[in-house]
């Protein structure tokens, strides 16, 4: 049997024939649009922290739980079975169903009247979004050959910060237009303006879900020796991780720590700018939103391209090398944001933090595309997201809020809490990722087959 032969039952082909570039880039663009919408719906609460706290009578810790824990834990838990479905089912259908589900749940967030209702709705948003990344990363790996995945991965993951920036910019402008008031809507009655804005963004899912369903499903291409065995259970995937724990566990742990800083920033940077710098909600949305929109695509595409360039130059651990650079940049930027007294230095810190946040995003999943068999990619990405969301997504926002509330005991010192956390976690990330490089080189060298 040829190294790339695979049983028909597995749904994989050994033919390294990828779809035409035009079709591949159309699919990438639609998936990136889904990513933009996901992070709009995920990040909109961060913009309205102040009015939500006031109207629902929430503490900083409760806000942190809504932004981080409620979303992150359920996104992680539901992602695991969804990842298994991605490895055996129709990936575009799974992604489209996720878009519809989280959009409906985000509408429920807009109608919530207390902490409990908002918490339940946010868990549903997290569960729905658990479908997008496993399905998209698996699809992109079968649309583009290994040496050319960095750019499409960068485009897909730039959607995250474009969505985060777009919701800040558009949400801030809509807030300025509506004002802080009650609005009467047919059937729904009187709602706060922030609730109406959340409902508007939720409605975009009715456009994106059908587009996602229109993506052609590419054939699954076998690129690893393990693909010869056919389908893979979650137990087999865990066994593969155990056999290559130095590479894969080290990879996940390192990226968990670097993403800790990303999640803390996504949850609290808008509030930090308003509390520590005295910016208005509209100023925060306009300035920070513009930074995200302009800088994040450059960062994500730069990270993807640098990873590809290093791999093509013979560095099988090239994406991990780039991730170490990103961790160092994030830590330094966090310090600048936390302790700078000049508004211009704070903006400079935001620019650097935003660049390396997006620079880092395609590297973790891209490395897993290189190291995992095709039949394990959905589960591997889901496990990666599980680790990040349970630890980083579930704890980072709460930790910043709790440190502000119980250690500094001053809302204007949220920036210092954020900075201290960012420096510690990014230092750990750089160390762990560097230690994972040698075993990751071995994994890629022994497992991957030429395409």
pLDDT at position 9 is 35
What rounded mean pLDDT belongs to the chain? 86
Question: Taking the CB of residue 114, how many other CB atoms lie within 10 A of it?
Answer: 11
pLDDT at position 1: 32
How many structural domains comprise the chain? 1
Q: Are 422 and 264 contacting, i.e. CB atoms less than 8 angstroms apart?
A: yes
- pLDDT tens digits, 36-70: 999 898 888 888 888 899 999 988 888 888 887 78
158 pLDDT more than 70: yes
Segments forming the whole domain that contains residue 187: 18-213+227-447
Does residue 166 form part of some domain? yes
220 domain-assigned: no
Residues 6+ apart with CB under 8 A from 313: none
Residue 8 lies inside a defined structural domain of this protein: no
How far is it, in rounded angstroms, from Cα 53 to Cα 47? 11
Q: Does residue 310 lie in a domain region?
A: yes
Q: Is residue 357 part of a domain?
A: yes
Q: Is residue 6 part of a domain?
A: no
Q: At residue 320, does pLDDT exceed 60?
A: yes
More confident: 75 or 1: 75
Please report, for the domain that includes residue 377, its CATH number.
Answer: 1.20.1250.20
Q: Distance (Å, rounded) from C-alpha 209 to C-alpha 100? A: 6
- Give me the sign of the Cα torsion angle 423, 429, 430, 435: positive
Per-residue pLDDT tens digits for 124-147 = 999 999 899 999 999 998 999 877
Q: For 106-122, how does the pLDDT look when each residue is reduced to its tens digit (9 = 90+)? A: 999 999 889 999 999 99
- Residue 1 in domain: no
**DSSP letter, residue 224:** B
393, part of any domain: yes
- How much is the pLDDT for 357? 92
Q: What is the pLDDT of residues 182-237, one digit of tens each?
A: 888 788 878 888 899 999 999 999 899 999 999 999 988 766 666 555 556 788 88
Give the DSSP letter string of 381-445.
Answer: HHHHHHHIIIIIIHHHHHHHHHIIIIII--GGGHHHHHHHHHHHHHHHHHHHHHHHHHHHHHHHH
């Amino acid at each position: 049997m040829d190294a790339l032969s695979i049983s028909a039952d597995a749904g994989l082909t050994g033919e390294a024939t990828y779809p035409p570039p035009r079709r591949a880039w159309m699919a990438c663009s639609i998936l990136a649009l889904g990513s933009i919408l996901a992070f709009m719906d995920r990040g909109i609460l961060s913009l309205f922290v102040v009015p939500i706290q006031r109207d629902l009578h929430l503490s900083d810790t409760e806000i942190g739980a809504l932004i981080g824990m409620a979303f992150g834990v359920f996104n992680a838990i539901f992602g695991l079975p969804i990842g298994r479905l991605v490895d055996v089912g129709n990936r575009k259908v799974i992604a489209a169903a996720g878009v519809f589900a989280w959009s409906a749940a985000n509408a429920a967030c807009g109608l919530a009247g207390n902490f409990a209702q908002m918490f339940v709705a946010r868990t549903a948003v997290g569960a729905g979004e658990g479908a997008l990344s496993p399905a998209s990363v698996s699809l992109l790996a079968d649309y583009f050959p290994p040496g050319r995945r960095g750019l499409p991965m960068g485009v897909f993951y730039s959607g995250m910060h474009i969505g985060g920036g777009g919701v800040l910019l558009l949400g801030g402008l809509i807030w300025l237009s509506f004002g802080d008031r009650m609005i009467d809507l047919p059937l729904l009655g009187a709602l706060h303006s922030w609730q109406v804005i959340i409902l508007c963004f939720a409605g975009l899912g009715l456009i994106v879900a059908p587009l996602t369903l229109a993506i052609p499903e590419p054939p699954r291409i076998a690129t690893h020796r393990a693909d010869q065995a056919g389908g893979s259970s979650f137990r087999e995937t865990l066994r593969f991780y155990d056999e290559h724990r130095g590479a894969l566990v080290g990879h996940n742990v390192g990226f968990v720590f670097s993403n800790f800083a990303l999640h803390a920033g996504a949850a609290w940077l808008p509030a930090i700018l308003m509390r520590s710098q005295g910016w208005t909600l509209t100023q925060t949305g306009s300035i920070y939103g513009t930074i995200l929109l302009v800088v994040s695509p450059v960062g994500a595409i730069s990270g993807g391209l640098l990873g590809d360039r290093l791999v093509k130059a013979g560095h099988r651990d090239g994406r991990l090398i780039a991730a170490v650079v990103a961790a160092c940049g994030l830590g330094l930027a966090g310090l600048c944001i936390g302790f700078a007294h000049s508004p211009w230095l704070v903006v400079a810190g935001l620019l650097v933090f935003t660049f390396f946040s997006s620079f880092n995003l395609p590297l973790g999943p891209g490395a897993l595309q290189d190291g995992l068999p095709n039949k394990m990619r959905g589960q591997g990405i889901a496990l990666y997201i599980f680790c990040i969301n349970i630890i980083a997504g579930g704890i980072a926002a709460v930790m910043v809020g709790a440190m502000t509330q119980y250690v500094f005991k001053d809302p204007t010192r949220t920036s210092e809490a954020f900075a201290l956390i960012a420096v510690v976690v990014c230092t750990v990330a750089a160390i762990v990722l560097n230690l994972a490089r040698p075993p990751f080189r071995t994994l890629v060298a022994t497992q991957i087959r030429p395409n």
